[in-house]
């Protein structure tokens, strides 16, 4: 797609991916790698959430369900059927994407607060399913034996491979949300986000577009979930379907500026760094969530367009380069 | 001439209110058909039935030979029917150009983005909004928003255009310009169904007129015939000023 290569933003994303991939590899910096892995995860979750929240204007409180289900499917395929990691991740992503399409066609008939409540309902329902589904170990979850890392050259090398895969998933997330934004599909989603009834009257096939957006925003988080729980070698319902992470993804998207690709990524990175600092600090370690709540309040009240909105108003030329 | 849009005994009820009763009429290709009637006569309801926002309780709506009764608005839009709203509905934070591109992308021609850009600029020029192409929809004046509604509908290159009070709220100069725009649209071969309260304007614009009263068709014919129709005058007598205007309007 040559015209795409001429857009500066394409190369900005490539640069971000390169920095993520190279920075920790220099000097084998494991500590930095672990911190950036979480940042890449937050960027993945927030960027995909942004397709629903920022473009289509639907508040999805339950985006974590994609992450958790992807994690479960992947870990299950690896542990019970001895599938290789790559195939498990791909199948998990596709299955969760397809499931989201079906769910989406149903619950996207709801709007506003009702939709938001339904997304929480889905998380609760899927969590209850996982807690009672024997092949997934019920509430005890699934453990992977440490031998699982042997085909990847032992745990030390496996962790690096997992890190690079997570960076790749983050890169794909950024490209996906960028491509959607500059496409006709994205124009339709933005129109729905602005005024859904007017969009339908202008000819935007709203139910299909909304369900496709919901499904597209499920695929990569599911793969990220697979990677994350494969790395932990353990998954249980309360970790996989933790609403906190969903809420954090919302905070991140709003902090950075919903609807923008750059802002959401930047917000995710900053939030993760802050979170890392707070968790390790002696005074604040118990206040991390309090802080994200206060942050969300402040953004909603005073900076509804987030970090990117501030940058755009300060430097109008940024609008042309940073999507 | 062949009928572009036909309504066969269309009825719609909202709770205890019979908004439309057994309404039938047809629009010929290439004409401007005016739709008038006192407030609450069912004019806007009729638009919402034609473009699929509501489904009729009974009756059939046929557009270009196909039965579109109960079809979703986005399917009907794709068939070549576009409309404006009495209460303007801009895509607020999108620019005028982007608003019109949505119309072009998802309208009758289903254009790809690059060609939608051309079609949108073309429609913006017809509506006289060139200088506002980069302005967010929400920042336009009322007259600007009405034009945006029109430009956006035009960008879809419709076969039939439904105009819901595009002249309301405009000053006399703006009304003159808008009437010019509507005439130009018709010259491009677009059939127009127009609701309007400004009698002078609708009498001079329309080839034929349909009068609604309490959800029923009261009269149908050339503007001059309708203006002389005793029943029509009576329906407007509640508002003597309008009745006088109706008679002097032609």
Structural contact between residues B100 and B45, judged by C-beta atoms closer than 8 angstroms: no
Question: Residue A26 has what DSSP assignment?
Answer: G
Quote the minimal CA–CA distance from B72 to chain A in Å: 8
Quote the minimal CA–CA distance from A243 to chain B in Å: 31
Residues of B with CB below 8 A from A199's CB? 91, 102
For residues B193-218, give the mean pLDDT. 90
Q: What backbone phi and psi angles, to 5 degrees, belong to B238?
A: -55, -25
The nearest alpha carbon in chain A to B79 belongs to A203
Under 8 Å CB-to-CB from B211, ≥6 apart: which residues?
B36, B37, B217, B218, B219, B220, B226, B229, B232, B235
Two structure tokens written together for B183: 């005439």
Two structure tokens written together for A193: 């986000």
Residues of chain A with pLDDT under 70: 1-2
Structural contact between residues A241 and A286, judged by C-beta atoms closer than 8 angstroms: no
Taking the Cβ of residue B8 and every Cβ of chain A, the question of whether any pair is shorter than 8 Å is answered with no
Q: Tell me if B90 and A198 make a contact (CB, 8 A cut-off).
A: yes
Q: d(Cα B105, Cα B82) in Å, to the nearest integer?
A: 13
Residues of A with CB below 8 A from B102's CB? 187-188, 191, 199, 202, 204
Residues of A with CB below 8 A from B91's CB? 190-191, 194-195, 198-199
Structural contact between residues A189 and A213, judged by C-beta atoms closer than 8 angstroms: yes
Two structure tokens written together for A153: 């050259």
Residues of B with CB below 8 A from A188's CB? 102, 105-106
Helices (H), B138-206: 142-155, 172-187, 199-205
Burial of B170 by CB count in 10 Å (0-12 exposed, 13-18 middle, 19+ buried)? buried
Two structure tokens written together for A258: 């919903």
Which of A245, A239, A231 has the alpha carbon at shortest distance from A139?
A239
Burial of A81 by CB count in 10 Å (0-12 exposed, 13-18 middle, 19+ buried)? exposed
Under 8 Å CB-to-CB from A73, ≥6 apart: which residues?
A88, A91, A92, A95, A96, A222, A226
- The mean of the pLDDT values for chain B is 89
Quote the minimal CA–CA distance from B181 to chain A in Å: 20
Two structure tokens written together for A62: 């339950």
Considering only the beta carbons, identify the residue of B82, B91, B152 that sits closest to A194.
Answer: B91
Taking the Cβ of residue A206 and every Cβ of chain B, the question of whether any pair is shorter than 8 Å is answered with yes
Give the tens place of pLDDT for each residue, B94-141: 999 999 999 999 999 889 998 999 999 999 998 888 899 888 999 999
pLDDT of the residue at B239? 67
Q: What backbone phi and psi angles, to 5 degrees, belong to A253?
A: -65, -40
Q: What backbone phi and psi angles, to 5 degrees, belong to B91?
A: -80, 95
Residues 30-59 of B with CB under 8 A from A: 51, 53
Taking the Cβ of residue A200 and every Cβ of chain B, the question of whether any pair is shorter than 8 Å is answered with yes
Q: Tell me if B102 and A188 make a contact (CB, 8 A cut-off).
A: yes
Give long-range contacts, CB 8 A cutoff, 24+ apart: B136-139.
Answer: B136/B92, B136/B93, B136/B94, B136/B95, B137/B90, B137/B91, B137/B92, B137/B93, B137/B94, B137/B95, B137/B96, B137/B99, B138/B90, B138/B92, B138/B93
| Strands B32-36 and B81-83, sheet pairing | unpaired
Q: Tell me if B74 and A197 make a contact (CB, 8 A cut-off).
A: no
- The per-type count for chain A, helices as H runs and strands as E runs, is 16, 2
Candidates A202, A304, A305, partner chain B, best to mutate (most B CBs within 10 A): A202
CA atoms within 13 A on the CB side of A105: 6
Structural contact between residues A266 and A274, judged by C-beta atoms closer than 8 angstroms: no
The nearest alpha carbon in chain B to A191 belongs to B91
Q: How much of chain B exceeds pLDDT 90, in percent?
A: 56
pLDDT of the residue at B250? 47
Structural contact between residues A215 and A222, judged by C-beta atoms closer than 8 angstroms: no
Candidates A54, A196, A198, A309, partner chain B, best to mutate (most B CBs within 10 A): A198
- Dihedral over Cα of A237, A242, A243, A247: its sign: negative
User: What ipTM score was computed for the predicted complex, to two decimals?
Assistant: 0.88
Candidates B52, B102, B120, B150, partner chain A, best to mutate (most A CBs within 10 A): B102
The nearest alpha carbon in chain A to B52 belongs to A201
Q: Tell me if A191 and B102 make a contact (CB, 8 A cut-off).
A: yes
Which of B187, B193, B190 has the alpha carbon at shortest distance from B155?
B190
CA A132 to chain centre: 26
Give the tens place of pLDDT for each residue, B48-71: 999 999 999 999 999 999 999 999
Give the tens place of pLDDT for each residue, A166-191: 999 999 999 999 999 999 999 999 99
- Total-model pTM: 0.90
Q: Tell me if B74 and A188 make a contact (CB, 8 A cut-off).
A: no
Q: Is residue B47's pLDDT more than 60?
A: yes
Structural contact between residues B215 and B16, judged by C-beta atoms closer than 8 angstroms: no
What's the CA dihedral at B135, A196, A253, A52 to 10 degrees?
A: -130
Q: d(Cα A163, Cα A39) in Å, to the nearest integer?
A: 11
| Strands B58-63 and B32-36, sheet pairing | unpaired
Quote the minimal CA–CA distance from A251 to chain B in Å: 22
Under 8 Å CB-to-CB from A85, ≥6 apart: which residues?
A74, A78, A152, A226, A230
Quote the minimal CA–CA distance from B99 to chain A in Å: 8
pLDDT of the residue at A294? 84
State which H helix or E strand residue B219 sits in: strand B216-221
Candidates A56, A109, A203, A258, partner chain B, best to mutate (most B CBs within 10 A): A203
Which of B69, B64, B94, B92 has the alpha carbon at shortest distance from B3?
B64
The nearest alpha carbon in chain B to A305 belongs to B93
- Dihedral over Cα of A78, A83, A86, A87: its sign: negative
Q: How many residues does chain A have?
A: 323
């Amino acid at each position: 797609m040559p015209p795409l290569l001429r857009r500066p933003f394409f190369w900005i994303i490539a640069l971000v991916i390169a920095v993520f991939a190279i920075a920790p590899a220099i000097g084998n910096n494991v500590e930095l790698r672990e911190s950036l892995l979480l940042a890449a995860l937050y960027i993945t979750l927030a960027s995909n959430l942004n397709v629903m929240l920022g473009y289509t204007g639907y508040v999805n409180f339950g985006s974590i369900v994609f992450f958790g289900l992807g994690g479960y499917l992947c870990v299950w395929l690896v542990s019970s059927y001895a599938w290789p990691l790559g195939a498990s991740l791909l199948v998990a992503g596709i299955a969760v994407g397809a499931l989201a399409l079906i769910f989406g066609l149903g619950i996207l008939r709801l709007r506003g607060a009702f939709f938001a409540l339904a997304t929480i309902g889905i998380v609760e329902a899927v969590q209850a399913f996982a807690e009672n589904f024997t092949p997934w170990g019920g509430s005890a979850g699934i453990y992977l034996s440490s031998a699982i890392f042997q085909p990847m050259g032992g745990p030390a090398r496996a962790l690096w491979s997992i890190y690079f895969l997570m960076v790749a998933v983050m890169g794909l997330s950024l490209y996906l949300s960028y491509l959607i934004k500059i496409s006709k599909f994205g124009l339709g989603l933005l129109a729905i986000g602005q005024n859904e009834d007017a969009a339908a009257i202008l000819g935007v096939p709203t139910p299909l577009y909304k369900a496709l957006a919901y499904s597209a925003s499920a695929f990569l988080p599911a793969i990220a979930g697979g990677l994350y729980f494969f790395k932990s070698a353990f998954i249980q319902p309360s970790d996989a379907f933790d609403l906190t992470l969903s809420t954090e993804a919302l905070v991140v998207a709003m902090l950075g500026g919903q609807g923008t690709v750059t802002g959401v990524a930047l917000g995710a990175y900053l939030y993760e760094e802050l979170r890392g600092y707070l968790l390790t600090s002696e005074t604040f370690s118990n206040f991390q969530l309090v802080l994200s709540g206060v942050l969300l309040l402040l953004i909603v009240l005073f900076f509804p367009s987030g970090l990117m909105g501030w940058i755009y108003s300060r430097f109008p030329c940024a609008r042309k380069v940073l999507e | 001439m062949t009928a572009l849009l036909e309504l066969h005994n269309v009825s719609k009820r909202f709770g205890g209110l019979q908004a439309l009763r057994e309404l039938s009429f047809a629009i010929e290709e290439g004409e401007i058909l005016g739709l008038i009637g006192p407030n609450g006569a069912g004019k806007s309801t009729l638009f919402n039935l034609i473009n699929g926002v509501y489904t009729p309780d009974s009756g059939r709506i046929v557009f270009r030979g196909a039965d579109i009764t109960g079809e979703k608005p986005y399917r009907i839009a794709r068939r070549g029917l576009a409309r404006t709203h009495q209460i303007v509905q801009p895509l607020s934070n999108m620019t005028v150009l982007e608003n019109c591109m949505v119309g072009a992308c998802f309208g009758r021609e289903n254009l790809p983005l690059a060609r939608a850009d051309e079609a949108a600029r073309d429609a913006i020029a017809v509506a006289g909004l060139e200088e506002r192409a980069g302005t967010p929809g929400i920042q336009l004046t009322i007259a600007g928003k009405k034009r945006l509604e029109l430009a956006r509908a035009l960008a879809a290159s419709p076969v039939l255009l439904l105009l819901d009070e595009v002249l309301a709220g405009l000053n006399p100069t703006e009304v003159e310009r808008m009437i010019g725009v509507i005439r130009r649209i018709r010259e491009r071969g677009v059939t127009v169904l127009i609701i309007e309260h400004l009698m002078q304007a609708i009498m001079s614009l329309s080839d034929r007129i349909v009068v609604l009263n309490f959800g029923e068709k009261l009269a149908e014919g050339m503007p001059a015939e309708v203006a002389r129709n005793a029943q029509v005058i009576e329906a407007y007598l509640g508002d003597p000023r309008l009745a006088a205007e109706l008679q002097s309007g032609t």
